[in-house]
């Protein structure tokens, strides 16, 4: 047995306020009602042998190895399926049990290849462990080498193999796929000795399997095994850390040999994921040691010069002297910085501190600008705090789920598995999305309503839903009277009841039949617990902030805020987008969302940081670029964000960057933005540093260093060096000291420290004297702002309109296997599932244009054009096309416009008027890009790989 494995209780841990006491092997044990005898025994140190049971899935009772004796009862029941009861006297060891178990193991082993010494699971195999545990020394029937399972190994999945010769048909994998992941990709075919695990297709890769790894995790033998373990051997060390991909923030155990990662295993005690994972966090970590990593600092005087590798000292001194020169020549406000939602809280905090205290202005912004800034604004106005209201496990109490502009099975897969579980239990689902996303209809899940609205009509839809609630007497009046600002409610109720907001009036804008809207509104409003979950399909619009307030209004009017099972919950895109906002990355706010013009707050920061701070909000990213084009903004420090690829209207971004005199890019790879950079600081991946991430639940989790930074410095260390060179020393020796400063300066973080995080695993802010253990559900007795405030949400159609030249609407999203602009995932075998962005087109629009699946099409908008391959898909509605933005060579943002949210400037990525036509080859723009971009061509020629 490997040293690093977590304890397996055999059956899921139960939580109940009712406890039962029983005696197991002479020891009295007390456990929550509903706990199996197996789990009760294991919790108290008594290991009953088992094979078909594991604590990630419900007990199945098939292997008959876990037999026990109960005084006063006949027979030998299975301890995995027998519940602990008050007063039971249980014996787990006796000569009879030993003999029965030995017989069971003998049958298993007689049908199993005896190649333990060379097996990849040697030392990490439950079958081997159990043979030892029952004292099996001889097999009467003998293994004669004639395996009845002779199929070839299935090695189609890039990350794990399936070797059926080792399968004991315990069905743990099948049950994990169903119960934990909710994909139902596996089944057991046949009976008795002929039974076997099957995918329903030729192999794993071509099946429904989404490569979440739950089956691999559940498998007790080497049948399902990680390829890295097969290649590298069994891990010998472990470090708990947090996934660096999406905003679910799954806890992982990085299992290692020395400082080399062997596998990432989802952490059972990770409160965001409770032992589950998706293909990205579980398997796609090879980018961290990919050969494309830049590990030497580089500088160049002009962006047309070749890069020159230099020492850290020289790079930092050069960048600092340039920034000083720019400020001396063009003024203090001529430079700024961008923080990263991929970096840690501590690193983000340091970059904004560097800008405010080191540069002496507030020109700091973050990539959250282009995703969830409307969430901060909208929830701040209505509830008083800029974050989601629930913890993830709250969804298990929801009776109706309203999912708007989010596609969790692709973008937030581990949360999607929780949601699907609740839906299988009977909760109802309303999907509001232009596209037929997977949750509209998939294995054992079917939405009650799919409101397939037109892109850009979110506010029209939310107003129509609220109109039904108000005019049909569905408002929870007691709740509103007690919890909300009544004047604001009455003004809102008059506004929303107006006929112009009725589903019938809004039908022209939304494209959703009024009757469907009315039925969905009634379903949501009449639920005991109704919860809203939403994504970038809400925020990345010209009315993103209005829509967030519209959802908050609906939730307050129906009393759905302040307890488990309800709430308004943003599904955050990047791992630390919540944290980067919390840490004061916006130009107008310090950490904890306090305005820079607030004298008391500013004085506190001035006192702590020992410098005078500006009370004028600084420039947002789009304004920095505008100013650069205008000649007034000259220097930018960009940490961990590729604005040339991820921000809208690429040409404008490029013009802005080209106009600057010193761009410092701090990243893992030479990204698109680095083409316009003068200094490159090599970055560090999440495996190379200590810190914290904050997920979409406001959960602060530790990131722990697994290996030394490949470039010598972690990102926080490089920022400190840069600050020192600029003449503003920031003397921290460990990220824990940065967190201590954050806690001193930020009321919602005042109870957070590394020590506390190490004790409890993770904490949801606010965490302070009022809530020392954090706050899973917000606004329980009162809203953070006091009374909840209804806001008027007039629907104003976007200025981006279709017309004869651009008759279709383009909307964008993500796919499961890739992440954002592909910097990480495109350098992993995840390309096996998605190696290019495609354009989904409805059959009607495709036929009109003579387009077939696989054709290369030209996608044109008022801003630009690009080309990609088409997929004709019924998932689209007529008039709407869809693509992802994961691959640089597609350049999807070349076509997006510079329209943005009225309140926050969040770009309107989700609505672009376009034309699509058949074409051959690639556009001039792409040819130019490919010519210039040696590195992209290399990726195309040489598939990325795990490891180095
Ligand atoms: S593949 Fe593994 S988990 Fe699945 S039935 Fe076979 S031994 Fe059990
Ligand atoms: S990897 Fe996940 S989706 Fe694929 S078969 Fe295993 S459990 Fe099912
Ligand atoms: S769901 Fe998100 S946080 Fe969890 S493993 Fe996948 S990418 Fe990582
Ligand atoms: S572990 Fe209980 S029957 Fe298999």
**Per-position DSSP letters for 880-932, written without gaps between them:** EEEEE---TTT-GGGT--S-B-TTT--B-TT-EEEEEEE-SS--HHHHHHHHH
Helix orientation angle between 650-658 and 621-630, rounded to the nearest 10 degrees: 60
Taking alpha carbons only, the member of 206, 215, 103, 123 closest to residue 167 is 215
Q: Residue 922's pLDDT band (boundaries 50, 70, 90)?
A: low
Residue 620 Cα to ligand 4 middle (Å): 59
Question: Residue 336 in 3-state DSSP?
Answer: strand
Query: Looking at residue 937, what is its pLDDT?
Result: 43
Contact between 729 and 359 under an 8 Å Cβ cutoff? The reply is no
Q: How far apart are CA 367 and CA 576, in angstroms?
A: 10
Q: Is the peptide bond before 766 cis (omega within 30 degrees of 0)?
A: yes
Cβ–ligand 1 contact at 525 (below 6 Å)? no
Q: Is pLDDT of 591 > 80?
A: yes
For a mutational test of ligand 4's pocket, the pick from 48, 64, 172, i.e. the residue with the most ligand atoms closer than 8 A to its C-beta, is 64
Per DSSP, helices labelled H in 227-356 are 227-232, 279-283, 312-330, 345-353
Ligand 4: atom nearest CA of 53 is 1
Tell me the pTM.
0.92
Q: Is pLDDT of 880 > 70?
A: yes
Q: Strand locations in 476-563, DSSP E?
A: 530-534
Instruction: Give the rounded percent of residues in the chain with a pLDDT score beyond 90.
Output: 74
Q: How far apart are CA 560 and CA 476, in angstroms?
A: 9
Q: How far apart are CA 856 and CA 867, in angstroms?
A: 7
Q: How far apart are CA 723 and CA 745, in angstroms?
A: 20
Question: Residue 759 in 3-state DSSP?
Answer: helix
Residue 151 Cα to ligand 1 middle (Å): 15
Contact between 889 and 927 under an 8 Å Cβ cutoff? The reply is no
Average pLDDT over every residue of 521-549: 91
Q: How far apart are CA 666 and CA 373, in angstroms?
A: 23
Query: Looking at residue 142, what is its pLDDT?
Result: 59
Ligand 1: atom nearest CA of 162 is 1
Query: Looking at residue 44, what is its pLDDT?
Result: 85
Query: Looking at residue 897, what is its pLDDT?
Result: 73
Residue 616 Cα to ligand 3 middle (Å): 38
- Each residue of 246-297: pLDDT tens digit? 999 999 999 999 999 999 999 999 999 999 999 999 999 999 999 999 999 9
Query: Looking at residue 560, what is its pLDDT?
Result: 97
Q: Which helix (H) or strand (E) holds 252?
A: strand 251-257
Query: In this structure, what token pair is assigned to residue 860?
Result: 């044109």
How many Cβ atoms are within 10 Å of 516's Cβ, its own excluded?
17
Pairing of strands 260-266, 251-257: antiparallel
Ligand nearest to the CA of 105: 4
Q: What phi, psi does 321 have (nearest 5°)?
A: -65, -35
Cβ–ligand 3 contact at 281 (below 6 Å)? yes
- Who lines ligand 4 at CB under 6 A? 50-53, 61-66, 78, 80
For a mutational test of ligand 1's pocket, the pick from 167, 179, 185, i.e. the residue with the most ligand atoms closer than 8 A to its C-beta, is 167
Strand order in the sheet with 662-667: 308-309, 298-299, 679-682, 662-667, 635-639, 335-339, 364-366
Query: In this structure, what token pair is assigned to residue 330?
Result: 């063009």
Spell out the residues 6+ positions from residue 568 whose beta carbon is closer than 8 angstroms to its own: 379, 383, 388, 389, 532, 534, 548, 551, 552, 555, 561
Give the 3-state secondary structure of 122-136: CCCCHHHHHHHHCCC
Q: What phi, psi does 366 have (nearest 5°)?
A: -145, 165
What letter does residue 396 receive in the DSSP assignment? G
Long-range contacts, stretch 484-492, CB < 8 angstroms, 24+ apart = 484/556, 484/783, 484/787, 484/788, 484/789, 484/790, 485/787, 485/788, 485/789, 485/790, 488/789, 488/790, 488/791, 489/556, 489/557, 489/790, 491/790, 491/792, 492/553, 492/790, 492/791, 492/792
Cβ–ligand 1 contact at 723 (below 6 Å)? no
- Each residue of 592-615: pLDDT tens digit? 999 999 999 999 999 999 999 999
What are the C-alpha distances in Å from 30 to residues 17, 26, 27, 72?
12, 13, 10, 20
How many Cβ atoms are within 10 Å of 887's Cβ, its own excluded?
23
DSSP string, 449-477: EEE-PPTT-HHHHHHHHHHHHHHTT---H
Ligand 3: atom nearest CA of 819 is 7
Ligand 2: atom nearest CA of 177 is 7
Q: Residue 927's pLDDT band (boundaries 50, 70, 90)?
A: low
Q: Residue 2's pLDDT band (boundaries 50, 70, 90)?
A: very low
Burial status of residue 30 (CB atoms within 10 A of its CB: 0-12, 13-18, 19 or more)? middle
Q: Is pLDDT of 945 > 70?
A: no
Question: Residue 112 in 3-state DSSP?
Answer: coil
Residue 181 Cα to ligand 2 middle (Å): 7
Average pLDDT for the chain: 91
Pairing of strands 865-872, 699-703: unpaired
Q: How far apart are CA 791 and CA 113, in angstroms?
A: 68
- Each residue of 153-190: pLDDT tens digit? 999 999 999 999 999 999 999 999 999 999 999 999 98
Taking alpha carbons only, the member of 420, 413, 442 closest to residue 266 is 413
Q: How far apart are CA 175 and CA 167, in angstroms?
A: 15
Helix orientation angle between 715-725 and 345-353, rounded to the nearest 10 degrees: 10
Question: Residue 810 in 3-state DSSP?
Answer: strand
The protein residue with its alpha carbon nearest to ligand 3, atom 2, reads 246
Q: Is pLDDT of 706 > 70?
A: yes
Q: How far apart are CA 375 and CA 535, in angstroms?
A: 10
Query: Looking at residue 651, what is its pLDDT?
Result: 83
Taking alpha carbons only, the member of 117, 108, 114, 109 closest to residue 234 is 117
Residue 445 Cα to ligand 1 middle (Å): 25
Taking alpha carbons only, the member of 776, 171, 179, 56 closest to residue 425 is 179
Q: Is pLDDT of 646 > 90?
A: no
Question: Residue 366 in 3-state DSSP?
Answer: strand
Min mean pLDDT across 111-125, 427-441, 621-635 is at: 111-125
The protein residue with its alpha carbon nearest to ligand 3, atom 5, reads 281
What are the C-alpha distances in Å from 447 to residues 280, 421, 570?
26, 14, 20
Query: In this structure, what token pair is assigned to residue 99?
Result: 């003999």
Q: How far apart are CA 881 and CA 861, in angstroms?
A: 12
Taking alpha carbons only, the member of 272, 266, 173, 177 closest to residue 221 is 173
Residue 764 Cα to ligand 2 middle (Å): 30
How many Cβ atoms are within 10 Å of 89's Cβ, its own excluded?
15
What are the C-alpha distances in Å from 650 to residues 336, 637, 863, 878, 897?
20, 19, 9, 27, 9
- Each residue of 653-670: pLDDT tens digit? 999 999 999 999 999 999
The protein residue with its alpha carbon nearest to ligand 2, atom 5, reads 209
Residue 426 Cα to ligand 4 middle (Å): 28
Residues 520, 526, 531, 533: what is their CA dihedral angle, to the nearest 10 degrees? 10
**Dihedral sign, Cα of residue 165, residue 169, residue 170, residue 172:** positive
Strand order in the sheet with 762-764: 691-694, 699-703, 762-764
Q: How far apart are CA 292 and CA 824, in angstroms?
A: 11
Q: Strand locations in 617-716, DSSP E?
A: 635-639, 662-667, 679-682, 691-694, 699-703
Query: Looking at residue 573, what is its pLDDT?
Result: 77
- Each residue of 342-359: pLDDT tens digit? 999 999 999 999 999 999
What letter does residue 522 receive in the DSSP assignment? H
Q: How far apart are CA 407 and CA 828, in angstroms?
A: 23
Query: Looking at residue 63, what is its pLDDT?
Result: 92
Q: Residue 131's pLDDT band (boundaries 50, 70, 90)?
A: confident
Query: Looking at residue 342, what is its pLDDT?
Result: 92
């Amino acid at each position: 047995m490997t040293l690093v494995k977590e304890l397996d209780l055999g059956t899921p841990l139960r939580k109940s306020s009712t406890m039962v006491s029983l005696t197991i092997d002479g020891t009295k044990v007390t456990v929550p009602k509903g706990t199996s005898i197996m789990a009760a025994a294991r919790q108290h140190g008594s290991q009953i042998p088992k094979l078909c049971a594991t604590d990630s899935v419900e007990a199945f009772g098939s292997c008959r190895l876990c037999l026990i004796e109960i005084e006063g009862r006949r027979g030998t029941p299975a301890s995995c399926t027998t519940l602990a009861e008050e007063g039971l006297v249980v014996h787990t060891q006796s000569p009879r049990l030993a003999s029965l178990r030995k017989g069971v193991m003998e049958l298993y082993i007689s049908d199993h290849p005896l190649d333990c010494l060379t097996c990849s699971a040697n030392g990490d195999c439950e079958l081997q462990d159990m043979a030892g545990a029952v004292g099996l020394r001889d097999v009467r029937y003998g293994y004669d080498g004639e395996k009845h399972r002779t199929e070839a190994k299935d090695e189609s999945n890039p990350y794990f193999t399936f070797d059926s010769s080792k399968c004991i048909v315990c069905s743990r994998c099948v049950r994990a796929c169903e119960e934990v992941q909710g994909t139902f990709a596996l089944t057991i075919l046949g009976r008795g000795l002929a039974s076997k695990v099957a995918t329903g297709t030729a192999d794993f890769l071509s099946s429904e399997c989404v490569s979440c790894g739950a089956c691999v995790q559940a498998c007790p033998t080497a049948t399902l095994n990680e390829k890295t373990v097969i290649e590298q051997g069994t891990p010998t060390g472990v470090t708990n850390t947090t996934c660096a991909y999406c905003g679910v923030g799954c806890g992982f155990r990085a299992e290692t040999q020395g400082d080399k990662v062997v596998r990432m295993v989802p952490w059972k005690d990770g409160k965001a994921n409770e032992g589950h994972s998706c293909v990205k966090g579980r398997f796609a970590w090879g980018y961290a040691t990919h050969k494309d990593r830049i590990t030497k600092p580089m500088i160049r005087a002009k962006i047309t010069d070749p890069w020159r590798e230099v020492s850290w000292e020289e790079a930092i001194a050069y960048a600092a002297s340039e920034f000083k020169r720019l400020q001396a020549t063009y003024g203090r406000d001529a430079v700024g910085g961008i923080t990263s939602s991929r970096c840690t809280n501590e690193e983000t905090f340091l970059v904004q501190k560097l800008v405010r205290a080191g540069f002496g202005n507030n020109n700091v912004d973050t990539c959250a600008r282009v995703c969830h800034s409307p969430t901060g604004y909208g929830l701040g106005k209505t509830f008083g705090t800029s974050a989601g209201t629930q913890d993830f496990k709250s969804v298990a109490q929801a009776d109706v789920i309203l999912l708007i502009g989010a596609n969790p099975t692709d973008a937030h897969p581990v949360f999607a598995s929780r949601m699907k579980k609740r839906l299988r239990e009977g909760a109802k689902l309303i999907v509001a999305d232009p596209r037929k996303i997977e949750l509209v209809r998939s294995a054992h899940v079917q939405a009650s309503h799919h409101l397939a609205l037109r892109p850009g009509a979110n506010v029209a839809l939310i107003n129509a839903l609220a109109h039904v609630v108000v005019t049909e007497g569905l408002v929870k009046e007691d709740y509103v009277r007690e919890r909300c600002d009544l004047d604001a409610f009455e003004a809102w109720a008059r506004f929303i009841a107006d006929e112009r907001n009725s589903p019938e009036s809004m039908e022209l804008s939304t494209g959703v039949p009024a009757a469907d809207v009315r039925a969905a509104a009634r379903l949501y409003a009449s639920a005991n617990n109704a919860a809203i979950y939403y994504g970038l399909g809400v925020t990345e619009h010209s009315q993103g902030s209005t829509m967030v307030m519209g959802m908050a209004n609906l939730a307050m009017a129906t009393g759905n805020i302040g307890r488990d099972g309800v709430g308004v919950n943003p599904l955050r895109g990047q791992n630390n987008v919540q944290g980067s906002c919390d840490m004061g990355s916006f130009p107008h706010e310090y950490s904890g969302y306090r305005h820079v013009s607030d004298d008391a707050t500013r004085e506190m920061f001035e006192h702590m940081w020992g410098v005078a701070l500006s009370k004028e909000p600084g420039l947002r990213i789009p304004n920095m670029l505008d100013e650069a084009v205008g000649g007034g903004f000259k220097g930018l420090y960009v940490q961990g964000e590729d604005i040339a690829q991820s921000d809208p209207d690429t040409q404008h971004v490029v013009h802005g960057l080209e106009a600057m005199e010193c761009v410092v890019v701090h990243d893992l790879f030479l990204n698109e933005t680095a083409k316009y950079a003068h200094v490159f600081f090599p970055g560090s991946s999440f495996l190379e540093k200590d810190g914290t991430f904050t997920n979409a639940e406001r959960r602060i989790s530790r990131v722990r260093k697994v290996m030394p930074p490949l470039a010598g410095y972690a990102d926080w260390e490089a920022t400190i060096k840069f600050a020192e060179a600029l003449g503003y020393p920031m003397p921290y020796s460990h990220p824990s000291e940065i967190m201590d400063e954050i806690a001193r300066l930020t009321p919602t973080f005042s109870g957070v420290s590394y020590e506390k995080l190490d004790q409890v695993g993770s904490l949801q802010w606010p965490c302070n004297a009022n809530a020392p253990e954090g706050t899973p559900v917000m606004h329980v007795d009162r809203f953070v702002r006091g009374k909840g405030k209804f806001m008027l949400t007039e629907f104003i159609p976007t200025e981006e309109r279709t017309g004869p030249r651009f008759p279709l609407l383009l909307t964008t999203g993500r796919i499961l296997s890739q992440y954002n602009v592909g910097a990480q995932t495109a350098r992993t075998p995840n390309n096996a599932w998605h190696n290019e962005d495609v354009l989904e087109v409805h059959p009607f629009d495709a036929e009109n244009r003579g387009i077939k699946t696989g054709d290369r099409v030209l996608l044109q908008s008022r801003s630009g054009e690009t080309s990609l391959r088409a997929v004709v898909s019924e998932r689209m509605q007529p008039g709407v096309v869809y693509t992802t933005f994961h691959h640089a060579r597609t350049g999807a943002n070349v076509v997006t416009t510079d329209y943005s949210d009225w309140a926050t400037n969040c770009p309107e990525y989700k609505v672009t008027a376009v034309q699509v036509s058949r074409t051959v080859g690639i556009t001039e723009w792409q040819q130019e890009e490919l010519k210039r971009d040696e590195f992209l061509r290399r990726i195309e020629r040489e598939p990325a790989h795990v490891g180095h």
